[in-house]
A = this chain, B = another copy of it.
Amino acid sequence: MKTYLDCIPCFFKQALEAARMTGASEKTQKRILNELAKALPNFSLASSPPEMGRVIYGLVRKITKKGDPYISIKKKSNKLALSIYDKLKTKVRCFHDGLLMAVELAIAGNIIDYGVKNSLDVNAEITKILNKEDKSIKKESRAIFDYPGFKTALKKAKTILYLADNAGEVVFDRILIEEIKRLDEEKEIIYAVKEKPIINDALAEDALVCGIEKQAKIISSGSDAPGTVLSLCTKEFLKVYKKADMVISKGQGNFEALSKAKRPIFFLFMAKCPVIAQDVGCRLGDVILFYNDGKQLTEDS
């Protein structure tokens, strides 16, 4: 996805929130905004928002010298999500279509996103997810929800590349991965995390803590942007990305980075910002399962 002009005010908001997260003084916060302002004229709108995200959080890191300001938040998110693992499993087990419930929970877990909403109350959000009626997510919030296509592709796929999004959310991904493996234990699943700390995006350590390694191989994409920006990925990752029978991409950041990709991808995310909602053609807050066959005219690869 290209960067819309409406993303620009939001870049400054994100920079300010990230700066505050490090405990920086007001003077340092202003310095970070000034540096971002200096970088803006050189930023092309043809780049995707995660590429600017990388610049923003890089600036915050460079100026504040805080390597990973979200580390305690990530740990807390993992812990909270793990504490409801059994309840999530029960929801999947008790629903008539366990895979559908697992897909919906995986998308619901995408609410754990500090890039969009800094003052997120993960506890409250998780309670909301758990209190949802024990039915699938209401149809009206599923404007784009290609579950039949997902199920068909899943049946055929031998190797599946699963692109992680945020810490905490990983537990919800694990639920979906376990359900996929329960239906067919022969499937090979590769779970790709980010290379370096970026907002609350999941790193290898988060995937390990959340118990992914029992069902999937954990790799790094090489990207240190808040999305899988292919030009930043390692050769090893790109090989997996090209060869995988199916790619499941979690979260807005990965959608922004890969929406114009040339290969088929299933995007699972909540539309949490108005720009994304407009780009996708859905309403804010919608639960999205979007299949892109990769055959459109593309800017990215």
**Which A positions have Cβ atoms within 8 angstroms of B?**
5-6, 8-10, 12-13, 16, 26, 29-30, 33-34, 36-38, 40-41, 45
Contact = CB atoms under 8 A, between A and B. Distances in A.
B6 A16 contact: yes
A16 B9 contact: yes
Contacts of A9: 9-10, 12-13, 16
A184 to B, nearest CB: 47
Contact of A5 (B6, B10, B33, B40): B33
Contact of A41 (B12, B26, B34): B34
A5 B27 CA distance: 10
A10 B41 CA distance: 18
Name the residue in A9, A10, A36 with the highest tally of chain B Cβ atoms < 10 Å from its Cβ: A9
Contacts of A12: 8-9, 12
Given A5-B26, A38-B38, 16 more contacts: A5-B16, A5-B29, A8-B12, A8-B16, A8-B33, A9-B9, A9-B10, A9-B12, A30-B45, A33-B40, A34-B40, A34-B41, A36-B37, A37-B37, A37-B41, A38-B41
A6 B33 CA distance: 11
Closest 6 CB pairs of A and B: A37-B37, A9-B12, A37-B40, A9-B13, A34-B41, A9-B9
A268 to B, nearest CB: 29
Contacts of A30: 5, 45
Contacts of A29: 5
Nearest to A16: B5
A37 B35 CA distance: 9
A45 B30 CA distance: 9
A38 B36 CA distance: 10
Name the residue in A26, A40, A45 with the highest tally of chain B Cβ atoms < 10 Å from its Cβ: A40
